[in-house]
Amino acid sequence: MKLIQVELPDEVAKELDALMQAGWFRSEDEMVRLALIEFVRRHSFALAERFQLDDINWALQQKSSGK
């Protein structure tokens, strides 16, 4: 597993602490891990499409500049 350290604004940290204290999560690690998994799940298609469009635009620019 990869270790990632993040700094959060105080207000976000307070909200996350409240969720953990309310029993929604067992630990901060679990909370952050699940949030990232959900983000990737919801946005993976849009992110892939964006990367493909960026690659296409780059190729078109290279072609038009004669490189």
Q: What pLDDT, in 10s, does the model give residues 16-35?
A: 999 999 999 999 899 999 99
Q: Name the DSSP class of 23.
A: T
* In-domain check, residue 5: no
* In-domain check, residue 1: no
Structurally, the chain folds into a number of domains equal to 1
Q: What is the mean pLDDT of the chain?
A: 90
Instruction: Please tell me the predicted confidence (pLDDT) of residue 34.
Output: 94
The share of the chain scoring above pLDDT 70, in percent, equals: 99
* In-domain check, residue 2: no
- What whole-number distance in Å separates Cα of residue 28 and Cα of residue 17? 8
Structural domain including 21 reads 10-64
Instruction: Please tell me the predicted confidence (pLDDT) of residue 67.
Output: 64
Identify whether the C-beta of residue 35 lies closer than 8 Å to the C-beta of residue 27: no
- What whole-number distance in Å separates Cα of residue 4 and Cα of residue 15? 20
* In-domain check, residue 4: no
- What whole-number distance in Å separates Cα of residue 13 and Cα of residue 3? 19
